[in-house]
Amino acid sequence: MPFKTSMLKVIVIVLLLIGILFVSLNFLAPSTVSIKKSVEVSEQVSIPHETILGSKSGEVRVYSDIYFPAIYIEANQTFQITWVSIYFADAYIFTQQQFNNYQSNESFDSEAFTSAKQDGSVAYDVKDSGYYVADLNVGADQYIVEFNESVISYTYQTHYVTQMQNVPQKDNLYLYVGITFLVAGTISLLAVILRHRKTLI
């Protein structure tokens, strides 16, 4: 009888310790499963806002330049020029210094350039704030041209889209196992107490 009681006590201690271990694991390193769920994901969407800075139209002499006065553009904006012509035209976006060099025939460097017939456009994403010049060089005599410059600024909004993703989720496996051992240990402990009382009687 004493041998059996002592063995039961050992079983009680082992069951309770295992139960405490699993319950602790559930909070320290919980068991997880991967479940496919639809989740909302945020993304930043840029919304462009165009502001017309100037517009010109009319007859142009052969190989003439049409340009707007230098305008200050903030970084992270887009400087854009558009035109409609009958013949070909070369379009430039200059910094103020590049434009001065261009006029003195020292250099033809520009931030953005294109050569096109009739309709055309050039856009430059400004990296450094400063003064910029929009220039259109026409290649034929007396034709009607429309020349516009604008700046595009951006605002950002947070949009939410639904996506299917594998999401790790706590499944409380350790907790359930731990509780099972604790219950078994508690029952065994009650059995030890009852056996001890019977022995006393």
Q: Where are the extended beta strands (E) located within 11-129?
A: 32-60, 65-67, 71-73, 78-84, 88-95, 112-117, 120-125
For the chain, what is the domain count? 2
Distance CA 92, CA 2 (A): 102
pTM to 2 decimal places: 0.58
Determine the pLDDT at residue 3: 45
pLDDT in tens, 109-145: 888 888 766 678 899 999 999 999 999 887 766 566 7
pLDDT in tens, 155-184: 888 888 887 778 777 778 888 888 888 888
On whether both 101 and 179 belong to a single domain, the answer is no
| Strand 88-95 versus strand 112-117 pairing type | antiparallel
Type and span of the H or E element at 156: strand 143-170
Kindly tell me if the per-residue pLDDT of 1 is higher than 50: no
CB-side neighbour CA atoms (13 Å) of 144: 0
Determine the structural domain holding residue 116 and report its residue range: 42-158
On whether both 24 and 47 belong to a single domain, the answer is no
Secondary structure class of 171 (helix, strand, coil): coil
Q: What percent of the chain has pLDDT over 70?
A: 89
On whether both 27 and 53 belong to a single domain, the answer is no
On whether both 121 and 142 belong to a single domain, the answer is yes
Nearest residue to 177 (alpha-carbon basis) of 30, 4, 7: 30
On whether both 25 and 100 belong to a single domain, the answer is no
Residue 52 lies in a domain: yes
Rounded mean pLDDT of the chain? 83
Residue 166 lies in a domain: no
Residue 48 lies in a domain: yes
Q: What is the mean pLDDT of residues 96-117?
A: 83
Distance CA 166, CA 47 (A): 31
Residue with tokens 């271990």: 21
On whether both 105 and 196 belong to a single domain, the answer is no
